[in-house]
Structure 1
Amino acid sequence: MVFSAHSADIMVNQMGYLPSGDKYAYLLAEEPSDIQLLSVLDGRLVAKLESADAVSLPDERRVRAIDFSQVKTPGWYKLVSDNGQSVPFPIEADAYEPLNERLVHALYLQRSGMVVNDRATGMNRPQSHMQDGQIFRTDAFHKAGTHLDVVGGWYDAGDFGKYVATTTITVARLLEAYRQTPQLYSDTKQPGSDKPAIIDESIYALDWLLKMQREDGAVYRKVSGASWPAKIGPWQDNQTRFIYGVSTPETAKFAATMAFAARTIKPFDADLSRQYLSAAIHAANYLASQDGQYFDWQEGDDSGSGPYMANKFDKEASLETDVDDRLWAYAELYITTGQDKFKRAFQDNYDPQWIDIFEWKNPALMGVWHLILAEEKGAFRDQLANDLDQVASRYLQQSQQSPFRVANQRFIWGSNKMTAEAGILIAWADFAKGRLDNRTSVQSQIDYLLGANAFDMSFVTNSGTYSVRNLHHLYRIATGVSLPGYLVGGPNEMAQAGVAPKNMGMLSYIDSEKSYAVNEFAIDYNASLIGLIAVHHAYFNHY
């Protein structure tokens, strides 16, 4: 079985490397080989390199690392072996800045409830889903069929569903990237705006989240049609769109995101900041009235949208409880309000088992990280930093044993997002301990996503010499318009669409628009890569 569409036997980060950064390429070869680094400009030999010991892929092909970190001179290069060569790649200080702009701008292209006329991409679509939405099932506050204004927000993925679970973690990841390295984002603005584009996008999504809060502080889970849409543009999707029931996990993620946003948005808009904090406290009061996890869910709620709760594919322990979601909420509320009751609630519910990568299934890590930043030195902070470091050690070990040094070894739906988040976790553990030891591993996660993988392919559309072409996205399929800056889900051993090869680990991928289980984009995937680039940048700029 052939997994790569290209003849190259040397895989590189196709977006390039930083002059003072770590630089690894990978040779697919049974035996070691001498490698030459050549200048693309004049063909000059820059360095002779050796390949390291091999690690085997699931199909038993051998992967060998090539270290050329000693080369720091900006320019365009290629690596050449006896059997082939890499694509050309740059070494330059701003290697990831165009990518970063595309990743943020892709979220703008996902906006619902407004005209999108984008010169950069050619996307030109009318306003869509301006009637969102109707209450799907009668609850204590609204009868079924009642219309509430929930227009706006982002389409979650390649179809037209809008979800609180992923919108919250996406906004939080954007705001954290801005908090971590504001200089990366300060100069990129939407036309007519005085705010960084990453802040504008966050506010657009936050406005929609506010609309999803019920009168008692609880938060509705999602907005979608009762049937999956056809391969059409969003303005052509005329089915009735429903608002589905509240849950405590979504309400907790909402409370956390709003409390964090209140801090981050305050310098840009103090009135909005106050509104966010009020909504966060209202959500927290609802949570206080609920003893455990609660979902207003019935069979049929997922006939046209994703469940975003425990299901036959998602069975993680964190989905059996809302403690992880509440931990994040308590942390953010404590930091923003200074009220000790929230810190006590965090400490009473804290268990290190909930420290893992930041995702909708388990967002506790963001709260842990922000507490580490906020707390003075002491036993509580030390415990959090030590617990985080233990988890990072596990990911580091996996990275060191993996082809292409991939820290995430769960190749399931959204594995590329998980890879980016594993890199962020490793970086945060470094920073929490006051060290810069594992920058190489963080770089390796970026490299893998941008071409240093078995497919010699960047998993971000229009980003690299060979990048994803057949994105599963209804608008792209319906119109043929290219959508740049979209990170796809990546290898997925379960291959639910029945197109990609199953049970092949990092080889369970195919660049096909029919394979939604590996080639669909989602807003939180982009957010994770944005966050990964931000923490990587922080290694060079005094985190």
Structure 2
Amino acid sequence: MAKRVLTSVIGMGLALIVSACAGFYGGGAVGQPQFPKALQYHYKEFPALNQTGFLPVSPKMAIYAVPEDAPARSDVAYGPIEWVVKDAINKIVLSGTSEPFGLNTGSGKVVYRIDFSSLKTPGQGYLVGVKQGQSYKVSQPFDIDPKVYDRLRYDSLAFFYHQRASVAIEAKYVGERWARPVAHNPDKATCYGPKDFRGNDWGGCPYTLDVSKGWYDAGDQGKYVVNGGIAVWTLMNWYEFSKGASDFADGKVHIPENTNGINDLLDEVRFEMDFMMAMQVPDGTTLKLPRGNQMKTLDKLQFSTVDASGMAHHKMHDEHWTAVPMLPHLDTEKRYLSYPSTTATLNLAATAAQCARLFKGVDDAYAAKCLISAKRAFAAAQRLPDVLAIDVLQGGGGGYGDPKATDEFYWAAAELFITTGEAEYEKIVRASPDYLASPSGDAQGNGDISWGSVQALGTLSLSIAPNIPADMRDGARQAIIKTADAYAAQTAGEGYMIPMTRPYVWGSNADFANRGMILSYAHSFTKNQNYFDQSIHLMDYLLGRNPNMISYVSGYGLNAMQHPHHRFWAPSKDKTLPPPPPGVLAGGPQNRNAADPALKEIFANCKPQTCYIDHIDSYSTNEVAINWNAPLFWLAAYISSN
């Protein structure tokens, strides 16, 4: 992480910092205060808080960590610290003493909590100052505004347009700096092979598919059905949860389709669904596929000749990893399909079923197409329930392997039952070992939402479905509320007031956003304000109230993520390339795998919450991805609507 030390931040100095912060859309961008000279600003020591701002009625917390040279011991008593809040004209509007929390195990530091929730007056450029000796350590500026999250919901959704494949990204929608030429159009591919890189003979595929469109998955140009599945489900779920996503009505979003008379959120969804349905195996196709879990003998796979009709190819991407940076239209690598898998097939079945009911009455022909695809895919998965995803290329894309498909079967059956009401699917849903499953909320994070753990998606959909048996819908709601209670119970015992005691894994920031979605569901069912406040705490963490004192969302806050692992948003590699646009979520801290060279440099000494580096080479903490931005969008949309 680039170390940035700023002292004596007054007047013109801060204005220069704002102008240098590319794409800054966050709090305090207008009318910055003149700070008294006594207020010092130091990168490592200022109070951490949401750098964008707060709703007038929301909880407002800052966290101050004892400087690094102080002993971080749980047996040391630390007294309260004086703090003040000043407004944009340097007037003290609130003061108090902090609550000593003690040692925060996630960061390895002794921390203090500063609660200024009683400040409800809208305004820009507020600051929290913590008294240390004769001077103050000053927070980032922030706003208080009932519309403080309004822009984030649109910026986080715009990420998906930026990631589109097979079309030019046009300046009139994103601005000159982020425009780029068309790439991978058409995006045609056949299966790699016939032999994979280990020497197994798969036999190849007797066809080439045009799988144009869809979203590039992350910082590379691969496209994956299982990651696309959870991402597009999350966008569709907001449309369904919010009963039509009126904030994204036609003309509200900067995309080419915003004058076609269809909700712009559905337009973005359709762009991905077109790709996913194109990944379906044509009828009458026979393929050689490995069945059962053969992970211990990957170099000696046993194949079965099967009717693969209706299955979905797991992914498609370049033969080799491309350089960083590499603009999509300059990518000359040959692209291939990976072979079908049961989990990809069920991702298609689930999302296509969801698509069918959302487009009914909007575009009935498209709704019918989605439903046909969903039923074909589910039937194929029933016929071949044990075809695992196995990499056939040595590089060029992520693996997305998953040895278990029971969660995908439950999710897909639930979506098909909601859409069709057919007894066959209801029976499968009720008989599933994942029936009404919701994350455990325990210290291991069992069942937390991710691309490889999707059972909760089925339960979330059932909880808001209008035409299903009451016991099923009510049971789903009770399960979700139980999870929300478990999350909320964790907040008091965590220094940064976040419901997260599980290990920090790859993409931990998405874990936070998905937990916020669960809490938001519970709030919508019960109107219990505590659930809403807990979701605010999670957003506060993502926007700066964390031990790294960084906003993990680009463009939101003076110290926001600027150097994602991405092949186009790469100014640190090529000064002619742009930084990330506003609203892009970094993967976040993870202390399970020092996978990249940048993280390895700090890994030996970092704690779970500090194993993060804002560096383009840190793909294991600073990559971006569609399944991470999707729950950020969902959470921002929910908070801004309340």
The residue identity in structure 1 corresponding to 2:215 is W
**One-letter code aligned to 2:451:** W
Letter in 2 for 1:86: S
**1:296–1:366 Cα change, 3 Å:** closer
Aligned-pair distance for 1:12?
1.4
The corresponding residue for 1:390 is 482
Q: CA separation of 1:406/1:132 partners in 2, compared to 1, >3 Å: closer, same or farther?
A: farther
How far 1:158 moved relative to its partner? 0.6
- What are the ranges of 5 or more consecutive residues in structure 1 without an aligned counterpart? 310-318
Tell me which of 153, 158, 163 is aligned to 2:214: 153
Q: 1:248 to 1:174 in 2, by over 3 A?
A: same
1:253 aligns with 2:352: no
- Compute the displacement of 1:8 (Å): 4.5
- Residue 473 (structure 1) aligned with residue 540 (structure 2): no
Distance 1:433 1:287, change over 3 A: farther
RMSD: 2.6
Distance in 1 of aligned mates of 2:65 and 2:147: 29
Within 5 Å, which residues of 2 pair with 1:115-130? 115-119=168-172, 120-121=174-175, 122-130=177-185
2:70 is aligned with 1:21 = no
Counterpart-to-counterpart distance in 1, 2:428 and 2:138: 56
The structure with the largest helix share of the pair is: 1
Match of 1:528 in 2: 631
Which residue of 433, 457, 460 corresponds with 1:369?
460
- Per the alignment, residue 594 of structure 2 pairs with 495
What letter corresponds to residue 429 of structure 1 in structure 2? A
CA distance in structure 2 between the aligned counterparts of 1:201 and 1:9, rounded to whole angstroms: 40
Equivalent residue, structure 2, for 1:327: 410
Letter in 2 for 1:360: W
Any idea what the Cα deviations from partners look like across 1:29-82, whole Å, max 9, x if unmatched? Answer: 354212211111x22221123322314234532222222222222102111121
Correspondence 1:111 to 2:204: no
Q: Is the 8 A contact 2:191 2:338 kept in 1?
A: yes
Give, as a single letter, the amino acid of the residue that structure 2 aligns with 1:489: G
**Structure 1 stretch displaced more, 419-428 or 203-212:** 419-428
Work out the CA distance in 2 between the residues paired with 1:455 and 1:4: 12
| Native 8 Å contact 1:4 1:454 kept in 2 | no
Query: Could you say which residue in structure 2 is the equivalent of 1:351?
Result: 434
Change (3 A) 1:383 1:268: closer
Letter of the structure 1 residue corresponding to residue 590 of structure 2? N
Counterpart Cα distance in 1 of 2:81 and 2:246? 41
- What's the counterpart of residue 274 of structure 1? 368
Aligned to 1:135: 191
Task: Report how far residue 101 of structure 1 moved.
Answer: 1.3
Q: Distance in 1 between matches of 2:358 and 2:160?
A: 19
Rounded to whole Å, the distance in 1 between the matches of 2:550 and 2:537 is 15
**Contact 2:504–2:590 (CA under 8 A) maintained in structure 1:** yes
The equivalent residue for 2:10 is: none
Please give the residue correspondences for 1:431-450 in structure 2 after superposition, counting only pairs within 5 Å: 431-433=524-526, 435-450=528-543
Once the 2 structures are TM-superposed, how far is the Cα of residue 296 of structure 1 from its aligned partner? 5.3
Q: Does 1:188 align with 2:253?
A: yes
Quote how far apart the aligned CAs of 1:127 are.
1.5
User: Is the 8 Å Cα contact of residues 104 and 197 (structure 1) preserved in structure 2?
Assistant: no
- CA shift, 1:398, in A, is 2.7
Q: CA deviation at 1:196?
A: 4.0
1:385 is displaced (CA, Å) by 3.0
2:98 match: secondary structure = strand
1:504 is displaced (CA, Å) by 1.5
Which letter maps to 1:363?
A: V
Distance 2:215 2:232 in 1: 11
Distance 1:437 1:465, change over 3 A: same
Find the residue that maps to 1:438 and give its secondary structure.
Answer: helix
- Relative to structure 1, the CA distance from residue 348 to residue 302 in structure 2 (aligned partners, 3 Å threshold; closer, same or farther) is farther
Distance 1:51 1:132, change over 3 A: farther
Helix, strand or coil at the partner of 2:609: helix
Residue deviations 1:324-343, cap 9 Å, x none?
A: 11111111101111112111
User: Corresponding residue for 2:287?
Assistant: none
Whole-Å separation in 2 of the counterparts to 1:49 and 1:277: 59
Query: Offset of 1:230 from its aligned partner?
Result: 1.0
User: What is the distance in 2 between the residues matched to 1:240 and 1:272?
Assistant: 31
- For residue 535 of structure 1, report the CA deviation from its aligned partner: 3.3
Q: Provide the rounded CA distance (Å) in 1 between the counterparts of 2:438 and 2:476.
A: 9
- 2-structure distance, mates of 1:141, 1:198: 39
Q: Distance in 2 between the 1:405 and 1:4 partners?
A: 26
- 1:505 partner amino acid: P
What does residue 38 of structure 1 align with? Answer: 86
Tell me how far 1:457 sits from its aligned partner: 1.1
- Pairing partner for 2:239 from 137, 154, 178: 178
Q: Which residue of 1 aligns with 2:143?
A: 90
What residue in structure 2 maps to residue 293 of structure 1? Answer: 386
Amino acid in structure 1 at the alignment position of 2:557: G
| Match 1:51 to one of 98, 109, 114 | 98
Is it true that 1:74 corresponds to 2:122 in the alignment?
yes
The one-letter amino acid of 2:449's match is F
Report if the CA contact (8 A) 1:22-1:69 is conserved: yes
SS at match of 2:530: coil
Residue 518 (structure 1) aligned with residue 566 (structure 2): no
Deviations 1:364-388 (A, max 9, x none): 1121012122266754344333333
Matching residue's letter, 2:344: E
1:37–1:49 Cα contact (<8 Å) kept:
no
Determine if contact 2:152/2:633 at 8 Å carries over to the other structure: no
Q: Percent identity?
A: 27
Distance in 2 of aligned mates of 1:325 and 1:302? 26
Aligned position for 1:312: none
Distance in 1 (alpha carbons) for counterparts of 2:257 and 2:476: 43
- What is the identity, as a one-letter code, of the residue corresponding to 2:495? P
Distance 1:200 1:410 in 2: 36
Paired letter, 2:236? L
Deviation at 1:537, TM superposition (A): 4.0
Q: Which amino acid aligns with 1:487?
A: L
Question: 1:265 aligns to what?
Answer: 359
- Determine the C-alpha separation between the residues in 2 that align with 1:414 and 1:224: 21
Give the AA of the match of 1:269.
Answer: D
Distance in 2 between residues matched to 1:18 and 1:385, nearest whole Å: 27
Which residue identity lines up with residue 525 of structure 1 in the other structure?
Answer: W
Structure 2: runs of 5 or more not aligned: 6-42, 67-77, 196-200, 283-308, 440-447
Measured after TM superposition, the shift of residue 471 of structure 1 is 1.3
Match of 2:579 among 475, 482, 495: 482
Mapped contact 1:470–1:512 kept (Cα < 8 A): yes
Return closer, same or farther for 1:177/1:383 CA change in 2, 3 Å cut-off. closer
Highest Rg: 1 or 2?
2
State the match for 1:100 in structure 2.
Answer: 153
